Amino acid sequence: MDVSISPSTVDGTTRAPPSKSYTHRAILAAGYAEGSVVAEPLLSADTRATARAVEAFGGSVEIAADESRLEVEGFDGSPGVPADVVDCANSGTTMRLVTAAAGLVDGTTVLTGDESLRSRPQGPLLDAIGDLGGRAESTRGNGQAPLVVTGPIDGGTVAIPGDVSSQYVTALLMAGANTDDGIRVDLETELKSAPYVDITLDVLDAFGVEAERTETGFVVEGGQRYDAGGEYAVPGDLSSLSYLLAAGAIAAPDGLTLEGAVPSAQGDTAIVDIVEGMGATVDWDREAGTIYVSQSPLSGTTVDVGDTPDLLPTIAALGAVADGETRIENVEHVRYKETDRVSAMAEELTKLGASVTEHEDELVVHGDDSELVGAAVDGRKDHRIVMALSVAGLVAEGETTVAGGEHVDVSFPGFFDVLASLGATVRR
């Protein structure tokens, strides 16, 4: 689906969608338990993939008519052998979390996904499952899906790199609680995207599972059970909120109010300080969970996205509007997402008239040499690229057409409806 955005101003009040990261973990945690209620979940293509995986292992997930609750009947720490291949679609989080869950199965699980997901690295997690007593292989021998996992694992100690994906750690910690011996994860390199593991620890704690940091990584004791019968409420998604915050900073002269911004362990909370630091007027009432943002002249900035890779597209779009130079550092791991987001933003912003220099571990946007003009751009089948380019389209001269608009369903299904409700000119 092509989506066209014309120069627009936005104003009014809207709400952040629920957190995708928290929803994934809460659905799987409820699956590991006998059952639980997940309140205010994000129902997107990605999180539905995790729900299907819980069902494949023998649980069930019932969606309330108004989609405000998920009634999860879990498999109580003992996932069964799936009757069919587990299709993770485009969800990397699902693939990694479910691969570790498959390690608990007394039998064999086959996992796959779409073309993009089948290009993403899983090797370190496969090796870890092997070290823990299971067997995990890539059918093509390249560390990428399709994957074949045979368990059960007993637990133990594994060493994995921390600079490819924090989701390896999350997957092992969530599964480790249901092993006999627990799992100790020693990191071989610095952990990138560390706040996402903080989210995992937050969810585990809410479900009564103890896991903690060590001097060398993380550990979760075995023989634990996930609490059942309770209700877990998902906080708002600061990653998705970043696009609305950016829209307010560049296209809301009368201001924009964003609800659902409750403080949590999300590293992407950093976007609030980044936007304010670039010069936008920002007021965050943390107790009420509301952010007011209004348009102001922006200046370039320097941001390290080692812990916040999902913010790179948003920051790059802002840098194309700001005066001066915006440097986005520590970006190499951002190349292993739904697409290479570093190259994607460099190439697509250039089509819009931005001046961008791409290095292996840095993206530099030269705002003083950029003048955004509407053009046809490719969202690369990546929800975050689509939304970031759409925000840039609010201030590009002429019409900007983004290919692949349907991919926002991965994390923010109503994104274009929200933009239109705030006054943006959106044509689908």
Active site residues: 310
Q: Which residue has the tokens 């634990």?
A: 224
DSSP per-residue codes, 78-92:
-PPPPSS-EE-TT-H
CA distances from 111 to 98, 105, 132, 293 (A): 8, 13, 19, 43
DSSP per-residue codes, 259-299:
E-----S-GGGHHHHHHHHTT-EEEEETTTTEEEEE----B
Q: Residue 311 in contact with residue 271, Cβ under 8 Å?
A: yes
Helices (H), 164-258: 167-176, 194-206, 238-251
What whole-number distance in Å separates Cα of residue 85 and Cα of residue 145? 12
DSSP per-residue codes, 342-368:
HHHHHHHHHHTT-EEEEETTEEEEEGG
Tokens of 146: 């399709």
Bond preceding residue 152 cis, omega within 30 of 0: yes
What whole-number distance in Å separates Cα of residue 240 and Cα of residue 238? 5
Q: Residue 381 in contact with residue 407, Cβ under 8 Å?
A: yes
